[in-house]
Amino acid sequence: MNSSNAQSGFALVGDIGGTNARFALWRGEVLESIQVLACADYPRPEDAVRDYLLRVGEPLAGVRNVCLACAGPVGAGDFRFTNNHWVIRRDAFRAELGLSHLLLVNDFSTMAWAASRLSDEHRVQVRPGRVLDDRARLIIGPGTGLGVGSLMPLPGGGWEVLPCEGGHVDLPVTSERDFAIWQLLREKYGHVSAERVLSGSGLENLYRMSCQLDGVEARCASAAEIGERALAGDAYADAVLEHFFLWLARVAGNAVLTVGALGGVFITGGIVPRFLERFQRSGFSSAFAARGKTSGPYLDQVPVWVMTAEHPGLFGAGVALEQALKNES
């Protein structure tokens, strides 16, 4: 692919986790030919890329630019996946596939890149407010873990993504109920991070600890079952889900105060979008800004959206690659 192809936005993008690798073509800011491949079916990531291109009828020679979102901390060297056998050896990968550019980014960072360009059809506003265009945006996503990141606007246009480990901050305690659950979590885990509650396994923790406190029989074995029971009218499961949303409000609000994210908050991940209507009815919006006399007013006008795009990781990988190529031109 020559430079004109790169500027037109044609590239291969991927979003690779421990189990599945999602691939797509990025052309003119649009995702095409999305496919999901099982990592276990391929000895190496190069083999998966070749098979994907064969499946969608795209010759390898036509692809010169690739961006892969990888689950884990991405540095300058080779990348080893934590939960599968793949290793991306940058120089060998680029040479074998004949690439001009290979960009590896953290998988949650692509959520931030996606938030920089989401249209209204791919997001739902759940808290009104005023966007300050020259200030940071916060991205937070309870899913397998709790991802947190921010977007900083650049003076000449574009954005810089600031990845972090904000999911591992201390879990905030603001009520006697919070404290009682925090004590049980500390007995089990020692340090109690926000992720111990705000994730799939965290929702399960919250449910089990709540049942233990209240002397209630635990009827749900998974986060999905807790959510399903809550939506089906189970009052106890619904109360646990509500507590989850309130804790998310506190953690998100704290993160906004830390980075000055007056450009708004974008919620992603596998949990909140699944329960969007219930989330909209929750106490999240009020709890988000229910603070002291200084922090409350600071947060009061910060808007919040839920990202509803079907493949934000792939979309964000395309945006990240596009800006990287633009910066090099």
- Dihedral over Cα of 257, 263, 267, 269: its sign: negative
- Dihedral over Cα of 271, 273, 278, 284: its sign: positive
CB 196 within 8 A of CB 176: no
Written as six digits, the tokens of 81 are 């996946």
**59 φ/ψ angles, rounded to the nearest 5 degrees:** -70, 140
CB 284 within 8 A of CB 248: yes
Q: 70 has which bridge partners?
A: 16, 106
Annotated binding site: 14-19
What's the angle, vertex CA 298, arms to CA 260 and CA 199, rounded to 5?
60
d(CA 123, CA 126): 9
Residue 271, helix vs strand vs coil = coil
CB 153 within 8 A of CB 165: no
Which of 268, 296, 291, 306 is CA-nearest to residue 172? 291
**256 φ/ψ angles, rounded to the nearest 5 degrees:** -60, -45
Name the E strands within 39-109: 65-70, 79-80, 87-88, 101-106
CB 13 within 8 A of CB 321: yes
Neighbours of 132 (CB within 10 A): 16
Neighbours of 32 (CB within 10 A): 12
Annotated binding site for ATP: 14-19
- Dihedral over Cα of 48, 52, 55, 58: its sign: negative
d(CA 143, CA 198): 8
